[in-house]
Structure 1
Amino acid sequence: MWVSVEDDLFNNIYNKLKSDPIIQKQLDGRVFDSAQKDAVYPYIIVGETNVTNNESTTDMVEDVGVTLHVYSQAPNRHEATYILKILGYLLNREIELNDYEFKRSRIDNQEVITDIDQYTKHGIIRLLFKYRHKTKY
């Protein structure tokens, strides 16, 4: 039975962002895994994931999509766009995980929209990661 890389990847991304000096400087470490009711802006949410796997009798390869959200209340979209650029720089690369072989990553989608309150800028970046399982559990 194969165990998905999804949880390990999510936790690695979350912890990497929480401890990254660039994120610390820009956002005082405001990285969360769910929406914040009384948030201090700007902040990042490591959000939704989805998995597509390709399994054979001897091998398992997974594509894992991870969506991150940036929330800013700056007067223009520049702050949200800048933070998305940082996220792409930090995460669109090899992330080493035990029991999994990194194959590739890429930015699948990136955008900044204005939320329904007509003031908050909402940046969205979706990254795709491909991993091959080294072991079977």
Structure 2
Amino acid sequence: MWVSVERYLFNKVYNKLKSNPIIRKQLDGRVFDCVQKDAVYPYIVVGETNVTNKETTTSMVEDVGITLHVYSQARNRDEASQIIQFLGFVLNNEIEIDYYSFIKSRIDTQEVITDIDQYTKHGIIRLVFKYRHNTLQRSVTNGAG
């Protein structure tokens, strides 16, 4: 059974952002995996993922999309736009994951909208990563078996 790279990639992206010195300094490390109720702005959410794969009897290649959200309450859209641009710069490259070979990454979409409260600026960027499985993993809970 092939085990998707999705969970490992999500964790790598999350940890890469949490440990980034610029994010730690500028956003005080405010990177989360869900929207915050009583938030200090701006902050980043590593959000939704989706996976499409191409499997043969001897190999598996996956495209994993990860959507990141930026929430800002600055007066204009510039703060959210700058953070989105920075996320694309930091993440649109190889992320090494054991048992998987990175093929490529790309920015799929990015936008800044005004949320329903008419004040919060909501930046959205979706990146797609392509990985090839190096081994057939037999256990879902503990990696390679």
Shift of 1:25: 1.4
One-letter identity of the residue aligned with 1:64: V
1:48-99 CA-to-partner distances (Å, cap 9, x unmatched) read 0000000000000000000000000000000000000110010000000000
1:23, 1:84 → 2: CA distance? Answer: 12
Shift of 1:102: 0.1
Shift of 1:108: 0.1
| Equivalent pairs, count | 137
Which position in structure 2 is the counterpart of 1:2? 2
Unpaired segments ≥5 residues, structure 2:
138-145
Which position in structure 2 is the counterpart of 1:111? 111
2:113, 2:26 → 1: CA distance? Answer: 20
Which position in structure 1 is the counterpart of 2:32? 32
1:68, 1:47 → 2: CA distance? Answer: 5
Unpaired segments ≥5 residues, structure 1:
none
Q: Secondary structure at the match of 2:97?
A: coil
Which position in structure 2 is the counterpart of 1:132? 132
2:39, 2:73 → 1: CA distance? Answer: 11
Shift of 1:22: 1.0
Which position in structure 2 is the counterpart of 1:122? 122
2:71, 2:65 → 1: CA distance? Answer: 20
Percent identity, aligned pairs only, is 75
TM-score between the two structures when normalised by the length of structure 2: 0.94
Alignment of 1:54-69 (within 5 A): 54-69=54-69
CA RMSD of aligned residues (A): 0.4
